[in-house]
Chains A and B, each alone.
Chain A
Amino acid sequence: MDLMLLAAEAEAAVPKWGIFVDVEGAISGLLTTLILTGLTYYWITAARAGRNIPSIRRLPGLDAITEAVGRATEMGRPVMLANRRDGLGDVETFALWGYLSHAATLAAQYDTRFINLTGSHLVLAVNEAVIQQAYLEAGRPDAFNQDDCRYFPSNQWPWSSHCAGIIMRERPAALLWVGSWSGEASILPEAGSQIEAIQIAAVTTTGQLPFFIASCDYVLMSGEVYAASAYLSKEPVMTGTIVAEDCAKLLLMAIAVLGALVEIARPASQWMTNLLKF
Chain B
Amino acid sequence: MLRREVPAVLTTVMAIFVFLSAMLFPLEEMKILARTDSLLQFMGNMALFLGGINLFRLHSRNIKKKREYWPFSLWLLAVFVFFTVLGIVKGNNDPLYKGLYDALIVPVNASMHSISAFFLCSAAFKAFRIKNLDSIVLMISAVWVMLASVPIGEIISPNVGIVKDWLLAVPGSAVARAMANGLFLAGFAATLRIFLGLERRHLGQ
Contact = CB atoms under 8 A, between A and B. Distances in A.
Decide whether A and B are members of one complex.
Answer: yes
B126 A23 contact: no
Contacts of A225: 183, 186
Interface stretch (A5-13, A240-248, A267-275): A240-248
Interface string A16-37: 0011111100100110110011
A278 interface: no
Nearest to A37: B192
Interface stretch (A63-71, A76-84, A107-115, A155-163): A155-163
Interface in A152-208: 155-158, 160-161, 183-184, 186-187, 189-191, 193, 204, 206
B123 A206 contact: no
Given A21-B26, A97-B202, A223-B183, A157 B112 contact: yes
Interface of A: 18-23, 26, 29-30, 32-33, 36-37, 40, 44, 88, 91, 94-95, 97-98, 100-101, 121-122, 125-126, 129-130, 133, 151, 155-158, 160-161, 183-184, 186-187, 189-191, 193, 204, 206, 210-211, 213-215, 221-227, 229-230, 237-238, 241-242, 244-245, 248-249, 252
Contact of A214 (B48, B109, B127, B180): B127
B194 interface: yes
| Chain B interface SS verdict (over half) | helix
Contacts of A157: 108-109, 112-113
Nearest to B128: A214
A133 B23 CA distance: 37
Contacts of B196: 40
B189 A226 contact: yes
> Range of interface residues on chain B?
35 or more
Contacts of A21: 24-26, 29
A226 B190 contact: yes
B27 to A, nearest CB: 9
B131 interface: no
B31 interface: no
A36 B19 CA distance: 14
Interface in B140-192: 176, 179-183, 185-192
30 contacts: A20-B24, A21-B29, A22-B26, A23-B24, A26-B23, A32-B188, A33-B19, A36-B189, A94-B190, A94-B199, A101-B201, A121-B47, A121-B48, A122-B47, A129-B204, A130-B204, A151-B51, A158-B105, A160-B112, A184-B116, A187-B116, A206-B176, A206-B179, A206-B180, A213-B127, A222-B186, A223-B183, A241-B189, A245-B188, A248-B189
